[in-house]
Amino acid sequence: MKSVNLLFIALFLMLSSCSSDDSPPVSDNPQLIIKLNFDPNQQRLDNLGQPATIPNGNAAQTPTIQRMSANYIEFAPIATTLLGQGEIVYEGAETDEGGDMAIDFQQSIFVGDDEVFLSIPLSEVASGAYEWVRVSLAYQEGDIQLLADNIGEVTGRLASFVGYNNYITEFDLNGSTITVDDNVLQGFWAFEALGFTTQGQAPEGATTVPNPLFDTSPVPQGSCVVTGQFANAFEITGNETEDVIVTLSFSINNSFEWTEVNADGKYEPSAGEQVVDMGLRGLIPSVSN
Protein backbone atom coordinates (compact mmCIF):
# COMPACT_ATOMS: atom_id res chain seq x y z
CA MET A 1 0.00 0.00 0.00
CA LYS A 2 2.82 2.36 0.92
CA SER A 3 4.53 1.79 -2.44
CA VAL A 4 1.27 2.61 -4.27
CA ASN A 5 0.95 5.93 -2.39
CA LEU A 6 4.54 6.81 -3.24
CA LEU A 7 3.77 6.08 -6.90
CA PHE A 8 0.79 8.46 -6.87
CA ILE A 9 2.86 11.18 -5.18
CA ALA A 10 5.62 10.83 -7.77
CA LEU A 11 3.07 10.98 -10.60
CA PHE A 12 1.46 14.10 -9.08
CA LEU A 13 4.81 15.88 -8.78
CA MET A 14 5.67 15.01 -12.37
CA LEU A 15 2.38 16.40 -13.68
CA SER A 16 2.73 19.55 -11.55
CA SER A 17 6.21 20.12 -12.95
CA CYS A 18 4.92 19.80 -16.52
CA SER A 19 2.00 22.18 -15.96
CA SER A 20 4.27 24.91 -14.58
CA ASP A 21 6.60 24.89 -17.59
CA ASP A 22 6.88 28.49 -18.85
CA SER A 23 8.60 27.63 -22.14
CA PRO A 24 6.92 28.99 -25.31
CA PRO A 25 4.39 26.74 -27.00
CA VAL A 26 5.65 24.76 -29.96
CA SER A 27 3.66 25.31 -33.13
CA ASP A 28 2.99 22.59 -35.68
CA ASN A 29 2.74 25.24 -38.38
CA PRO A 30 4.88 28.28 -37.50
CA GLN A 31 4.18 31.37 -39.57
CA LEU A 32 6.16 34.13 -41.20
CA ILE A 33 4.27 37.25 -40.10
CA ILE A 34 4.96 40.58 -41.80
CA LYS A 35 3.83 43.85 -40.24
CA LEU A 36 3.97 47.38 -41.67
CA ASN A 37 5.09 50.29 -39.53
CA PHE A 38 5.07 54.02 -40.37
CA ASP A 39 7.79 56.01 -38.61
CA PRO A 40 7.71 59.84 -38.71
CA ASN A 41 11.14 60.07 -37.05
CA GLN A 42 13.04 57.61 -39.24
CA GLN A 43 15.77 59.16 -41.38
CA ARG A 44 14.62 60.78 -44.62
CA LEU A 45 16.46 59.24 -47.59
CA ASP A 46 16.79 59.89 -51.31
CA ASN A 47 16.64 57.43 -54.22
CA LEU A 48 20.18 56.19 -53.47
CA GLY A 49 19.43 55.58 -49.80
CA GLN A 50 21.39 58.65 -48.70
CA PRO A 51 20.16 61.31 -46.23
CA ALA A 52 18.00 63.83 -48.10
CA THR A 53 17.10 67.46 -47.52
CA ILE A 54 14.14 69.31 -49.02
CA PRO A 55 15.16 71.01 -52.30
CA ASN A 56 15.09 74.80 -52.58
CA GLY A 57 11.72 75.97 -53.80
CA ASN A 58 9.90 73.00 -52.29
CA ALA A 59 8.33 72.34 -48.91
CA ALA A 60 7.24 69.12 -47.21
CA GLN A 61 5.29 67.74 -44.28
CA THR A 62 4.93 64.42 -42.49
CA PRO A 63 1.50 62.88 -43.15
CA THR A 64 -0.45 60.80 -40.66
CA ILE A 65 -0.71 57.51 -42.54
CA GLN A 66 -4.01 55.70 -42.05
CA ARG A 67 -3.40 52.67 -44.24
CA MET A 68 -0.99 51.31 -46.79
CA SER A 69 -0.71 48.51 -49.34
CA ALA A 70 2.19 46.64 -50.94
CA ASN A 71 2.24 44.56 -54.11
CA TYR A 72 5.50 42.63 -53.78
CA ILE A 73 7.84 41.46 -50.99
CA GLU A 74 11.15 39.73 -51.60
CA PHE A 75 14.04 38.67 -49.33
CA ALA A 76 17.47 39.01 -50.94
CA PRO A 77 20.49 37.02 -49.66
CA ILE A 78 23.22 39.50 -50.67
CA ALA A 79 23.67 42.96 -52.15
CA THR A 80 24.22 41.66 -55.68
CA THR A 81 21.02 39.58 -55.79
CA LEU A 82 19.02 41.03 -58.65
CA LEU A 83 15.37 41.94 -58.32
CA GLY A 84 13.27 38.79 -58.75
CA GLN A 85 16.12 36.39 -57.96
CA GLY A 86 15.62 36.41 -54.19
CA GLU A 87 12.92 34.66 -52.17
CA ILE A 88 9.58 36.17 -53.22
CA VAL A 89 7.14 35.79 -50.34
CA TYR A 90 4.28 37.92 -51.66
CA GLU A 91 2.92 39.05 -55.02
CA GLY A 92 -0.34 40.97 -55.17
CA ALA A 93 -3.12 40.56 -57.71
CA GLU A 94 -2.65 42.16 -61.15
CA THR A 95 -4.95 42.64 -64.13
CA ASP A 96 -4.93 43.85 -67.74
CA GLU A 97 -8.54 45.02 -67.51
CA GLY A 98 -7.40 48.61 -68.07
CA GLY A 99 -5.08 47.77 -70.99
CA ASP A 100 -1.49 47.29 -69.80
CA MET A 101 -0.80 44.99 -66.85
CA ALA A 102 -1.43 46.82 -63.57
CA ILE A 103 -1.93 46.32 -59.86
CA ASP A 104 -5.54 45.35 -59.20
CA PHE A 105 -6.41 47.97 -56.60
CA GLN A 106 -9.76 46.36 -55.80
CA GLN A 107 -8.02 43.18 -54.60
CA SER A 108 -5.22 44.86 -52.65
CA ILE A 109 -4.58 44.26 -48.94
CA PHE A 110 -4.70 47.41 -46.78
CA VAL A 111 -3.39 47.69 -43.24
CA GLY A 112 -2.79 50.42 -40.68
CA ASP A 113 0.26 51.18 -38.55
CA ASP A 114 1.85 48.09 -36.94
CA GLU A 115 -0.84 45.78 -38.33
CA VAL A 116 -0.27 42.37 -39.91
CA PHE A 117 -0.04 42.58 -43.69
CA LEU A 118 0.90 38.96 -44.42
CA SER A 119 1.00 35.61 -42.62
CA ILE A 120 2.24 32.50 -44.43
CA PRO A 121 3.69 29.18 -43.23
CA LEU A 122 7.45 29.31 -42.73
CA SER A 123 7.58 25.99 -44.55
CA GLU A 124 6.77 27.91 -47.75
CA VAL A 125 9.89 30.10 -47.39
CA ALA A 126 13.22 28.76 -48.63
CA SER A 127 15.83 28.17 -45.96
CA GLY A 128 18.76 30.55 -46.02
CA ALA A 129 20.20 33.81 -44.72
CA TYR A 130 18.78 37.06 -46.04
CA GLU A 131 20.43 40.45 -45.64
CA TRP A 132 17.97 42.61 -47.56
CA VAL A 133 14.26 43.01 -48.17
CA ARG A 134 12.57 44.63 -51.16
CA VAL A 135 9.01 45.90 -50.99
CA SER A 136 7.03 47.31 -53.88
CA LEU A 137 4.61 49.81 -52.37
CA ALA A 138 1.30 50.28 -54.13
CA TYR A 139 -0.83 52.71 -52.16
CA GLN A 140 -0.81 54.95 -49.13
CA GLU A 141 -3.55 57.02 -47.58
CA GLY A 142 -3.16 59.60 -44.85
CA ASP A 143 -4.03 63.00 -43.44
CA ILE A 144 -2.19 66.19 -44.38
CA GLN A 145 -2.61 69.87 -43.55
CA LEU A 146 -3.39 72.52 -46.15
CA LEU A 147 -4.06 76.23 -46.18
CA ALA A 148 -7.36 77.14 -47.86
CA ASP A 149 -8.57 80.58 -48.94
CA ASN A 150 -10.97 82.24 -46.50
CA ILE A 151 -10.89 79.18 -44.23
CA GLY A 152 -7.38 78.80 -42.88
CA GLU A 153 -5.58 75.57 -42.14
CA VAL A 154 -7.65 72.40 -42.51
CA THR A 155 -7.00 68.65 -42.45
CA GLY A 156 -7.52 66.70 -45.66
CA ARG A 157 -7.20 63.05 -46.68
CA LEU A 158 -4.69 62.18 -49.40
CA ALA A 159 -4.70 58.95 -51.42
CA SER A 160 -1.45 58.39 -53.28
CA PHE A 161 -0.89 55.59 -55.78
CA VAL A 162 2.83 54.85 -55.80
CA GLY A 163 2.73 51.49 -57.59
CA TYR A 164 4.15 51.18 -61.12
CA ASN A 165 0.67 51.03 -62.70
CA ASN A 166 -2.72 50.77 -61.00
CA TYR A 167 -6.09 49.62 -62.29
CA ILE A 168 -8.86 51.33 -60.29
CA THR A 169 -12.59 51.06 -60.69
CA GLU A 170 -13.48 53.29 -57.74
CA PHE A 171 -12.43 53.86 -54.16
CA ASP A 172 -13.71 55.54 -51.04
CA LEU A 173 -11.74 58.50 -49.77
CA ASN A 174 -12.89 59.69 -46.37
CA GLY A 175 -16.55 59.10 -47.29
CA SER A 176 -16.33 60.39 -50.86
CA THR A 177 -16.38 58.01 -53.84
CA ILE A 178 -13.69 58.55 -56.48
CA THR A 179 -14.49 56.81 -59.79
CA VAL A 180 -11.64 56.07 -62.21
CA ASP A 181 -12.36 52.91 -64.27
CA ASP A 182 -8.92 53.00 -65.84
CA ASN A 183 -5.20 52.45 -65.35
CA VAL A 184 -3.24 55.22 -63.63
CA LEU A 185 0.55 55.43 -63.44
CA GLN A 186 2.73 55.98 -60.40
CA GLY A 187 2.12 59.41 -58.91
CA PHE A 188 -1.66 59.55 -59.34
CA TRP A 189 -3.31 61.11 -56.30
CA ALA A 190 -6.71 62.14 -54.99
CA PHE A 191 -7.51 64.51 -52.17
CA GLU A 192 -10.56 65.14 -49.99
CA ALA A 193 -11.22 68.02 -47.59
CA LEU A 194 -14.49 69.38 -46.21
CA GLY A 195 -16.45 67.07 -48.53
CA PHE A 196 -14.76 68.34 -51.71
CA THR A 197 -12.44 66.19 -53.82
CA THR A 198 -9.76 66.77 -56.41
CA GLN A 199 -7.22 64.60 -58.17
CA GLY A 200 -4.00 64.94 -60.10
CA GLN A 201 -0.78 63.35 -61.32
CA ALA A 202 2.73 63.94 -59.97
CA PRO A 203 5.48 64.27 -62.60
CA GLU A 204 6.94 61.06 -64.04
CA GLY A 205 9.93 59.86 -62.04
CA ALA A 206 9.29 62.29 -59.19
CA THR A 207 8.27 59.67 -56.60
CA THR A 208 11.20 58.88 -54.32
CA VAL A 209 12.08 55.16 -54.07
CA PRO A 210 15.10 54.62 -51.76
CA ASN A 211 17.42 51.86 -52.98
CA PRO A 212 20.81 51.72 -51.26
CA LEU A 213 21.72 48.90 -53.69
CA PHE A 214 21.36 51.12 -56.74
CA ASP A 215 24.87 50.27 -58.01
CA THR A 216 24.71 46.49 -57.52
CA SER A 217 21.00 45.74 -57.81
CA PRO A 218 18.98 48.47 -59.54
CA VAL A 219 15.19 48.45 -59.84
CA PRO A 220 13.10 49.69 -62.79
CA GLN A 221 12.10 53.35 -62.70
CA GLY A 222 8.51 53.74 -61.60
CA SER A 223 8.42 50.39 -59.79
CA CYS A 224 8.42 51.82 -56.23
CA VAL A 225 10.53 48.90 -54.98
CA VAL A 226 11.95 50.21 -51.69
CA THR A 227 15.01 48.35 -50.37
CA GLY A 228 16.13 47.95 -46.75
CA GLN A 229 18.84 46.04 -44.89
CA PHE A 230 18.42 43.85 -41.81
CA ALA A 231 20.75 44.82 -38.95
CA ASN A 232 21.89 41.19 -38.90
CA ALA A 233 21.32 38.56 -41.55
CA PHE A 234 17.79 37.18 -41.21
CA GLU A 235 18.05 33.40 -41.24
CA ILE A 236 15.43 30.74 -41.85
CA THR A 237 16.65 27.25 -40.98
CA GLY A 238 13.58 25.22 -41.84
CA ASN A 239 13.46 23.91 -38.25
CA GLU A 240 11.53 26.80 -36.69
CA THR A 241 8.93 25.90 -34.07
CA GLU A 242 7.71 29.44 -33.38
CA ASP A 243 6.32 32.26 -35.52
CA VAL A 244 8.85 34.71 -36.96
CA ILE A 245 7.71 38.33 -37.12
CA VAL A 246 9.30 40.70 -39.64
CA THR A 247 8.41 44.36 -39.13
CA LEU A 248 8.92 46.64 -42.13
CA SER A 249 9.40 50.18 -40.83
CA PHE A 250 8.92 52.85 -43.48
CA SER A 251 10.08 56.43 -43.08
CA ILE A 252 7.26 58.95 -43.61
CA ASN A 253 9.53 61.80 -42.48
CA ASN A 254 8.45 64.81 -44.62
CA SER A 255 7.33 62.36 -47.31
CA PHE A 256 4.63 64.63 -48.77
CA GLU A 257 6.40 67.30 -50.83
CA TRP A 258 5.18 70.15 -53.04
CA THR A 259 6.46 73.17 -54.96
CA GLU A 260 6.17 76.43 -53.03
CA VAL A 261 4.49 79.51 -54.48
CA ASN A 262 4.14 81.29 -51.15
CA ALA A 263 7.27 80.51 -49.16
CA ASP A 264 5.52 79.80 -45.87
CA GLY A 265 5.97 76.04 -45.50
CA LYS A 266 2.23 75.44 -45.86
CA TYR A 267 0.58 73.48 -48.65
CA GLU A 268 -1.66 75.92 -50.57
CA PRO A 269 -3.23 74.26 -53.64
CA SER A 270 -5.35 77.36 -54.29
CA ALA A 271 -2.12 79.30 -54.86
CA GLY A 272 -1.01 76.84 -57.52
CA GLU A 273 1.32 74.78 -55.36
CA GLN A 274 1.80 71.37 -57.00
CA VAL A 275 2.39 67.94 -55.43
CA VAL A 276 5.74 66.55 -56.61
CA ASP A 277 6.54 63.63 -54.30
CA MET A 278 4.63 61.18 -52.14
CA GLY A 279 7.22 58.40 -51.92
CA LEU A 280 8.32 56.61 -48.78
CA ARG A 281 11.65 57.82 -47.44
CA GLY A 282 13.38 54.65 -46.34
CA LEU A 283 12.88 51.11 -45.08
CA ILE A 284 14.33 49.43 -41.98
CA PRO A 285 13.35 45.76 -41.50
CA SER A 286 13.64 43.96 -38.15
CA VAL A 287 12.96 40.42 -36.90
CA SER A 288 11.43 39.13 -33.67
CA ASN A 289 9.68 36.02 -32.35
| Cα-trace Rg, the chain | 24
Range of the domain at 114: 30-288
Q: What angle do CA 273, 276, 277 make, to 5 degrees?
A: 135
For residue 244, tell me if it sits in a domain: yes
Distances (CA, A) of 75 to 36, 135, 262: 15, 9, 44
Reading phi first (left if > 0) and then psi (alpha if -120 to 50, else beta), residue 235 is in beta
For residue 97, tell me if it sits in a domain: yes
For residue 93, tell me if it sits in a domain: yes
Residues 208 and 40: their CA atoms lie apart, in Å, by 16
For residue 14, tell me if it sits in a domain: no
Whether pTM > 0.85 for this model: the answer is yes
Is the CB of residue 200 less than 8 Å from the CB of residue 275?
A: yes
For residue 20, tell me if it sits in a domain: no
For residue 185, tell me if it sits in a domain: yes
- pLDDT tens across the length of the chain (289 residues): 444 444 444 434 444 444 444 444 555 799 999 999 999 999 999 999 999 999 999 999 999 999 999 999 999 999 999 999 999 999 999 999 999 999 999 999 999 999 999 999 999 999 999 999 999 999 999 999 999 888 899 999 999 999 999 999 999 999 999 999 999 999 999 999 988 898 988 888 888 999 999 999 999 888 889 999 999 989 999 999 999 999 999 999 999 999 999 999 999 988 999 888 988 999 999 999 7
Is the CB of residue 283 less than 8 Å from the CB of residue 135?
A: yes
For residue 251, tell me if it sits in a domain: yes
For residue 22, tell me if it sits in a domain: no
Domain count, the chain: 1
